[in-house]
Amino acid sequence: MFCVKWRLLQLCKKSLRSSALLLLTAFIWGVAFVAQSVGMDYIGPFSFNGARFLMGSIVLLPLVFVRRKKDKDKGLPRAGLKVTLTGGICCGLALCSAALFQQIGIMYTTVGKAGFITTLYIIIVPIMSIFLGKKAGGKIWIGAVLAAAGMYLLCMSERLVLGKGDTYVFICAILFSVHILVIDHFSPKADGVELSCIQFLTAGVISSILAFIFEEPALQSFIDGIIPVAYAGIMSCGVAYTLQVVGQKNMDPTVASLILSMESVFSVLSGWIILGQALSAKEMFGCVMVFGAVVLVQLPDRKKEV
């Protein structure tokens, strides 16, 4: 009896630890919207994304080597180089496109709105999956309607016009949905951390090339904006991803998704506290509806009685 209680206590501690790590991940991602917004005061969107993704890739490199060594010591098989590179590059292309629209969108909207609109990928993904032969349950459609109503309250002006920044971020949510589906295809075939490291490197290289073509990146601008760039690169890409990997290890995926969706709530709070970007009552109610839709979509289906 004592052993059973001790085992339950240990499982409870692991669950609480995992929940805390995932909540910290959501917090880091939520505050990253502020860093992305502030970063635009110093450098352009291509330059910002190039710098942060290259930083994220460098931060993940030690984790890649540690995991490789552990797998080698345990005699575990590794994914082939070809599939890892192919997957990482494909994910990087999707990530680069999504991040660019998000970065431009944040220049014209508040970080709170951007956080909630971006979270719509949780609803868009299952709808997109229909075209891949997967069936969407009733809660998906209810969530979609609820999210659409929330988006209307959150983004539409009195002239019934969708804001420029909100439009860019909504396109970003669609592209992030594509990114998730690409990851879903390649993740079972390759190591997740290596896949992420390569995707960050790919997105960083492409963004940097575009920065030299369309912008005029200057070293002093990067030095002046090093804090928001470093936060988005090191904390959001490198540290938060590592925390997510560790946190999800002993956590039910549905519960993990619910905790991570708190990113949108933290984006509103950080935008309000740090930047003073308050939302109106209508916009706040829209946020609540979008968040409700996100939670609804992630709730487990009821098991049919036999």
pLDDT band for position 228 (cuts 50, 70, 90) = very high
Q: What is the pTM assigned to this prediction? A: 0.83
Q: Which of 24-28, 160-164, 276-280 has the lowest mean pLDDT?
A: 160-164
pLDDT band at residue 157 using 50, 70 and 90 as cut-offs: low
Both tokens of 169, joined, read: 């971020």
Mean pLDDT for the stretch of residues 143-155: 77
Q: What angle do CA 211, 213, 214 make, to 5 degrees?
A: 70
Please give the mean pLDDT across all residues of the chain.
82
Per-residue model confidence as pLDDT tens digits over 54-75: 999 998 888 888 888 887 777 7
The residue to which tokens 């490197």 are assigned: 201
HSE toward the beta carbon, residue 84, CA cutoff 13 A: 15
Residues 40 and 245: their CA atoms lie apart, in Å, by 29
Please determine, for residue 246, whether its predicted confidence score (pLDDT) is greater than 90.
no
Mean pLDDT of 270-286: 84
Residues 6+ apart with CB under 8 A from 105: 114, 117, 165, 166, 167, 168, 169, 171, 172
Q: What is the structure's pLDDT at 131?
A: 80
The confidence band for 306, taking pLDDT boundaries of 50, 70 and 90, is very low
pLDDT at 254 over 60: no
Identify which of 306, 255, 6, 272 has the alpha carbon closest to the alpha carbon of residue 115.
272
Q: Using CA atoms, how far apart are residues 43 and 55, in angstroms rounded to an integer? A: 16
Give the residue-averaged pLDDT of 227-244. 88
pLDDT at residue 163, as a whole number:
80
Segment 75-103, tens digit of pLDDT: 777 778 788 899 999 999 999 999 999 99
- Band the pLDDT of 159: cuts 50, 70, 90: low
| Category of 174 on φ-ψ map: left (φ > 0), alpha (ψ -120 to 50) or beta | alpha
Strand partners, 156: 162
Res 14: pLDDT? 65
The pLDDT, as a whole number, for residue 153 is: 76
Domain layout of the chain by residue ranges? 27-298
**pLDDT band, residue 13 (cuts 50/70/90):** low
Average pLDDT over residues 236-250: 77
Is 8's pLDDT higher than 60? no
Q: Is the pLDDT of residue 10 over 60?
A: no
- With pLDDT > 70 as the criterion, what percentage of the chain qualifies? 85
pLDDT, greater one: 262 or 91: 91
